[in-house]
Chain A
């Protein structure tokens, strides 16, 4: 841990010094070191494209049923086949991207913000605040996280917003702990002392001078967490929480398709499941790639 802290500021300071070529330099570095990360970036772009333009581009209305063409296997008309009421699976899968990404991005953004504030306060001032926060985080971590999310959604009510809150709550400990550690080791660092002597208040030193150092490891955490948040949200809707049936969403589409798998209609569950898996895979690979750049020694 001690040597890990010594290089982290250097790694963050170096790109800032020569901002002009950092983007290119980094991309080249990523490519040379790990071509898998390039694939991950390309896939991320694809998913973002689907989320933004998907609803405009899909060939069919994701909610329009057509009883005459129900349960058709994949064909030229319907690339991913049709479901039990004749809706186009391809259109539904693409349109669902926006909802799934929105849920996970919103949840991760919430836990990022709350975790940063809590972790900064605990790491900077320490003392009883730190102790209380650690106890609270321990308690959250004492639950199997998916199970806690189930309990939270069951208690707050069965809506999409509550899926987001539940996913955010179970992710807060990861961010709060990370920020706490990063802030704590730097609160008496030379640059923080210098900023204080120069007349900056505690809040300003914390927010402007110390906290930005925690951002690179946070980015890795965000990327890994996004994949996990998608899995979590899809899992919740798979067991019937949050998203309501006609809405296209990957988890619920797999749940609907599961009823047809034993009679051989594989395309209903396979394509949404595959898309879900690809999205999670993308974020996991991306997180790994980012971690290699931020701290190569943590690679496992």
Chain B
């Protein structure tokens, strides 16, 4: 059953690879001249063209490219001199830690907000929730981040300087998962754990504000439809308490569409991540891509785009499978 769903994702992965191949080959100018560097003469450019397989027909180039990808070879980043795959793998935990914390925070605020609005539809509470979340989604993440830095770092002085994952006074926790919060907890180093948390709060809040709206709105809509369903009426008629009806019956059913929305929200978050990482100098894959863009390191940028797409496909797959496991009515076929 799960295998069937995985098989459905394969054409999408194939499409993603095709698009990323086209993006790589559409580089401005001659890729061979670009990879040879500015000091290269005609002979060395021709040599590199042959080495990169650029003299072969496009179809053959595509299969070479797929072969490279299959071996985990995303090309070499000019700016760092390292293989792109290694760079991305080293920086991915930082991005994931930020994204996941932001999503958790966002869900923790948005779901109660949606429930609150759904239980009082049409009142000022409902309108206020709506305006608040619309304002949240209208805020450019890079702007929110800057405002938060100004207020909490410059004015209030309670946030640490917005430079990376850990202040220099702390030592990086020993590498286990790459997630500083988990690694520091494993090492039992409470001071470092707190330091990492302090650095994480502002960027995670920035991302969470941006993702409040879709989650809160979906919760509200799903709660409204669940509250008007027959089983809720039956539960009320049977004399169950308000709390039991609301949380035990309506919310549990309303959570399913919310889980589906999380897939779309994750797409938003991965995109917004790039901007937030730049603002907070967060050493994740987003800021890696931005740094690569600045120095026109296209192999790194395209590797990043492909890696993000594959990550996103994988995540949607997991959400679909989780969905089918939660709700037995949904078949995976």
Q: State the A residues within 8 Å of B (CB).
A: 36, 135-136, 138-148, 150-152, 154-157, 227, 231, 234-235, 238-241, 251, 254-255, 257-258, 261-262, 264, 266, 269-270, 273-274, 276-277, 280-281, 284-285, 288, 300
CA distance A251 to B279 in the complex (A): 13
A239 near B275 with CB under 8 A, answer yes
**Given A145-B267, A254-B140 in contact, is the A241-B293 Cβ separation under 8 Å?**
yes
> Could you show 23 A-B contacts with beta carbons less than 8 Å apart?
A136-B15, A143-B308, A144-B267, A144-B270, A144-B312, A145-B271, A147-B308, A150-B274, A150-B293, A155-B26, A155-B298, A235-B141, A238-B140, A239-B274, A239-B290, A239-B293, A257-B146, A262-B153, A269-B146, A280-B139, A280-B140, A281-B138, A300-B217
Cα A61 to Cα B305 in complex, Å, equals 39
CB distance from A222 to the nearest CB of B (A): 17
Q: What residues of A have a CB within 8 angstroms of the CB of B140 in the complex?
A: 231, 234-235, 238, 251, 254, 273, 276-277, 280
Q: Given known contacts A144-B312, A254-B140, is B294 in contact with A240 (CB within 8 Å)?
A: yes
CB–CB A155/B302 < 8 A: yes
Answer whether residue B24 sits at the interface, using C-beta atoms and an 8 A cutoff.
Answer: yes
The 5 A-B residue pairs whose C-beta atoms are closest, nearest first, are A146-B271, A139-B15, A273-B143, A151-B305, A144-B270
Chain B, 277-333, CB within 8 A of any chain A CB: 278-279, 289-290, 293-294, 298, 301-302, 304-305, 308-309, 312-313, 316
Question: Which residues of B are interface residues toward A (Cβ below 8 A)?
Answer: 11-13, 15-16, 18-20, 22-24, 26-28, 127, 130-131, 134-135, 137-143, 146-147, 149-150, 153-154, 161-162, 217-218, 220-221, 266-268, 270-272, 274-275, 278-279, 289-290, 293-294, 298, 301-302, 304-305, 308-309, 312-313, 316
Q: Which of B26, B28, B138, B290 contacts A284 (CB 8 A)?
A: B138
Q: Which residues of A contact B298 (CB under 8 A)?
A: 154-155
Query: Once bound together, how far apart are the Cα atoms of A274 and B147, in whole Å?
Result: 10
Enumerate chain A residues within 8 angstroms of B220, measured Cβ to Cβ: 300
Q: How far is the CB of B185 from chain A (nearest CB, A)?
A: 29
Other-chain residue from A142, A239, A277 in contact with B139 (beta carbon distance below 8 A): A277
Q: How far is the CA of A276 from the CA of B24 in the complex (A)?
A: 32
B194 to chain A, nearest CB (A): 22
Once A and B bind, how many residue pairs between them come within 8 Å at the CB atom?
Answer: 161
What residues on B are CB-neighbors of A147 within 8 Å? 270-271, 274, 289, 304-305, 308-309
Bound form: Cα–Cα A117–B109 in Å: 41
A238, B217: Cβ atoms closer than 8 Å: no
The interface centre, meaning the residue of A136, A140, A154, A277 with most chain B CB atoms within 10 A of its CB, is A154
Tell me, rounded to whole Å, the shortest Cβ–Cβ distance linking A216 to chain B.
20
Asked if residues B146 and A254 are in contact (CB atoms below 8 Å), the reply is yes
The distance in angstroms between the C-alpha atoms of A155 and B19, with both chains bound, is 11
A277 adjacent to B138 (CB under 8 Å) = yes
Q: In the assembled complex, which residues on chain B have CB atoms less than 8 Å from the CB atom of A154?
A: 23, 293, 298, 301-302
Smallest CB-CB separation from B277: which chain A residue? A239
Pick the residue among B20, B135, B147, B218 that contacts A151 (CB under 8 A): B20
